Structure 1
Amino acid sequence: MPPMSLPSEHAAQLHECFISLGSNIDPDHYFVQALEIISRECVLLARSKAIRTAPVGYQHQPDFLNAALLVNTPLEREAFRNYLKGVEDRLGRVRGAIKSGPRTMDLDIVAWDGEIVDDGYFQHDYVRKPIDEVLISSGRTLEPSKHL
């Protein structure tokens, strides 16, 4: 029996999301794990190469590995943000007293449906460079959010 599907007018709208990834605790391991989870549970459209960057804020920690992903999801933005925090938790993320401290994985929504929603894109090369790489490779463009 073929799989059942709803007519297209009832299908969930897919949202396009740019995600920033960062890790400085065993980053090679956790990058692979994060990519496996997100590829399995979302529609992965594009990804950047990982870049190594110096920490920002709290300096007494290892360098970070940063990258970006472009995915499709049927979840609304707040639900997807909660999903990403759950992925961080599954990967052993411990949220300590130092907000910019070491972490196994940090996953942030940078752009949602073509709008930049995280001003980190404008403030930090470790966010902007991987996102720009994905923009170029995917042929997409982004607009600043009216709410930033």
Structure 2
Amino acid sequence: MNEVVVSVGSNIEPDKNVKLAKYNLSKTDNFVNESRFYITKPIGFTEQPDFLNGAFLIHTEDGFETFRQKLKQVEIDQGRVKQSNKNGPRCIDLDIVVWNRRIVDPDFYQRDFIKKTVLELIPDLKV
């Protein structure tokens, strides 16, 4: 069983889309816990609504790449369309931050809200 922390973000109907992502991931994987969620200002492209950001702790039988593809499929199923502006608005953004207690996303070190939510779920994570 693989232990995964997924960062979650949305600024298009965020409450609805975060709940839907949780539901969709719970259908195929063992949803363990979620962090608190925080309102954050957009980064880069600021002419858009604030984001709702948090994290999910999930146990999965999937390998890393299979699980990553599953997250991308959940994004697509929820209506996410990739834009030329990578910092633009989105209905849902799901990224693997920690895989089996190993930090795999550099945003952990660059964005305080990601670090805060991950450490809320795994307080003894070695950083």
TM class, shorter-length: over 0.9
* Aligned partner (choices 117, 121, 124) of residue 134 of structure 1: 121
Distance 1:46 1:29 in 2: 18
Q: Deviations over 1:41-98 (max 9, x none)?
A: 2101111111100001111110000010110111110111011000000110011110
Identity %: 40
Larger Rg: 1
Q: Determine the structure 1 residue equivalent to 2:29.
A: 42
- Report the AA paired with residue 74 of structure 1: E
- For structure 1, the residue ranges without an aligned partner over 5 or more in a row are 1-13
Distance 1:142 1:76 in 2: 21
TM-score (norm 2): 0.95
Partners of 1:57 and 1:100 within 8 A in 2: yes
Offset, 1:127: 1.0
Secondary structure of 1:133's partner?
A: helix
Partners of 1:25 and 1:104 within 8 A in 2: yes
Pair 1:109-2:99 in alignment: no
Offset, 1:143: 3.6
Pair 1:123-2:110 in alignment: yes
- Aligned Cα root-mean-square deviation (Å): 1.0
Number of equivalenced pairs: 127
Partners of 2:98 and 2:104 within 8 A in 1: yes
Offset, 1:142: 2.6
Distance 2:112 2:78 in 1: 25
Q: Determine the structure 2 residue equivalent to 1:86.
A: 73
Partners of 1:25 and 1:103 within 8 A in 2: yes
Distance 1:51 1:62 in 2: 13
Partners of 2:119 and 2:125 within 8 A in 1: no
- For structure 2, the residue ranges without an aligned partner over 5 or more in a row are none
Distance 1:128 1:24 in 2: 19
